[in-house]
Amino acid sequence: MTGTELTIRGRASSFRSSRWRVKLLLALSGVLAVALVGAAINHPIPSPTLRIRGADISFTLQEEAIRQFVSDNGREAPMEQILASHGSNFVRLRLWVNPAPGTSDLKSALALARRAHAAGLKLLLDFHYSDSWADRTTQQPPAAWQGLSQEELASTVERYTRGAVGDFARQGTPADIVQIGNEITRGLLWPYGQIYSPAGENWAGASQLINAGAKGARDGNPAQTPLIMIHSDTGGDQDASVHFYDQLQQHGVSFDLIGLTYYPFWNGSLADLDRNLRALAYRYGKDIILAETAYPWTLSSSGNVPSVVSTNEALPDATAYPPTPQGQAKFFAALNSVLRGVPNGHGAGYFIWEPGWLPGVGADARTGNAHSNLTLFDWRGHGLPALDAFRPTGKAGG
């Protein structure tokens, strides 16, 4: 082997060695990049503030009708004004089709919308598509809609939704978000829109009715098209949530927002909620709202009606957040933090359910109020520390 050959081979070897060093550096850089991405996924930078901080105040007129009022720091004021003064920026109003007058009917909802708008609050409109309560246990069609065929029912849903959304827009209080059905994990307007039966799962009917409602909502105010939210009751259940929203997408349901019910005594711990929110954010890339949430400030009952939650054992995080006024406030600060930590800012916010539903007003003519220990006011109507849940960071000063 000549000296020239050795020199050439030496240079080639040096070149290969340099090339492998470059490859090694690139590989290490790739590993580092993956590690950094993984760290960002597991520990995303939290959003500085929560964008949507609202409450369902649908019982307000009924409370005022029996002269049951609320106060804050000794000053009596309308519900919506107290919430706004603490940082709330939304209200949620439920709408029943033909209920008893004054109980979540269109006239009442329009009146509350005007008051909320005057207080600077935006509106989420919650269509139950029933004459009374619709939730995971019952989805009874309005009496006037019974006997319709599937196609007639879909047309009626579209027409009714379009008309109601238009009514809110025409009075200058447009719905920013429209919820198509309430807790419709098992469908809506049974039996046509019922998903689960002994024969198996049927998503076609529910999907047709949801799309009809969504079209009606969008057509009801084309000048300011509302966002469409689909609401399930699966706040802490990742598997059930994914199954529900996967099926909706596979059956052509178009929507903007995921809405979840999250009551810890029914839906699990904050850790359960956190896992579900992260999974949904990555899977669908949509903003998520807790359409209903609440926490007790006492375990006592009022009005001879047992409270819906009456033991520490029912609260998975009771050690950290005891059912006291201060514990309730700490819980909402933690809940706010969980939502702000959802990846890519997809934890949009929450609606505290009926913070002013005080003893004296029943759920309906036959049922009392089992939720009066979940309010943000004590039973004399005095504001509790958890009113600061409507601050951007869920606590005083934030």
- Cite the DSSP H helix spans in 43-148: 60-65, 79-85, 106-118
Pairing assessment for the beta strands 52-56 and 90-95 based on DSSP bridges: parallel
Report the SS3 class of residue 75.
strand
Centroid of chain to Cα 45:
22
> How far, rounded to the nearest angstrom, does the alpha carbon of residue 68 sit from its chain's CA centroid?
28
Residue listed under structure tokens 């008051």: 115
Q: 392 and 50 in contact (C-beta within 8 Å)?
A: yes
Q: How many CB atoms lie within 10 A of CB 140?
A: 15
CB 88 within 8 A of CB 54: yes
Integer Rg of the chain from CA: 26
Residue from 277, 295, 301 nearest 389 by CA:
295
Name the residue among 59, 251, 264, 231 with its Cα closest to residue 135.
231
Catalytic: 63? no
Q: d(Cα 77, Cα 338) in Å, to the nearest integer?
A: 31
Name 179's Cβ contacts closer than 8 Å, sequence gap at least 6: 92, 124, 125, 126, 127, 229, 230, 231, 259, 291
* Residue of 63, 158, 292, 354 marked active site: 292
- Three-state secondary structure call for residue 91: strand
| Catalytic residue from among 183, 201, 313, 354 | 183
For residue 151, indicate whether it is catalytic.
Answer: no
What are the catalytic residues?
183, 292
